[in-house]
Amino acid sequence: MKRILKCLCISLILFGCTTESEEKNVSKVVEDFYIYLNKKDFESIKKISTKEVDRYIDFVSTIGDDLVQVKTIDINEVKIENHLAKVDVKTIDIYGNVNNYKWSLIKEHNSWHLMELEEHGIGHNLTEDDIEYTKKAYPKKVDSIGSDSI
């Protein structure tokens, strides 16, 4: 009986550590997103995202200098089930606006990647028409040596 209890305790400790470690990994990916967003480092965002998120990143990159920076990031809840995670995040931008988001992440090749973002209370999903409209309203600028800049 002592042996069974000992094995059970060890299993619980190992499982608890793994879950806590995974929660930290998931939280880091979400936090990195906002850090990269503030730096306008869209290529780094794409490295921690799936193809589904890439279209949002392309849309956001067209905003350029009008992109509002995030001042604080609070991870409120992380739920992990197998290779999927849900994260509730509260952000406050430099103007004091509070936004609540729910991120979905997927674990691919032992790394967590952003899979989907939805803002709480907003039922509008970004469409291809939204992206095309933004590209027309905010076309890429070309500098004097011919490289693209935003």
**Of the given ranges (16-20, 87-91, 97-101, 106-110), which has the lowest mean pLDDT?**
16-20
- For residue 80, pLDDT over 90 is answered with yes
Q: Residue 77 — pLDDT band, cuts 50, 70, 90?
A: very high
In a domain, 66, yes or no: yes
Q: Residue 61 — pLDDT band, cuts 50, 70, 90?
A: confident
pTM: 0.67
In a domain, 145, yes or no: no
In a domain, 14, yes or no: yes
Instruction: Calculate the average pLDDT of the chain.
Output: 78
Per the structure, how many domains does the chain have?
Answer: 1
In a domain, 150, yes or no: no
The pLDDT of residue 72 is 92
In a domain, 68, yes or no: yes
Range of the domain at 86: 2-140
Here the CATH number for the domain that contains residue 112 is 3.10.450.50
In a domain, 147, yes or no: no
In a domain, 71, yes or no: yes
Q: What is the 3-state secondary structure (H, E, C) of the chain?
A: CHHHHHHHHHHHHHHHHHHHHHHHHHHHHHHHHHHHHHHCCHHHHHHCECHHHHHHHHHHHCCHHHCCCEEEEEEEEEEEECCEEEEEEEEEECCCCEEEEEEEEEEECCEEEEEEEEECCCCCCCCHHHHHHHHHHCCCEECCCCCEEC
- For residue 104, pLDDT over 90 is answered with yes
In a domain, 70, yes or no: yes
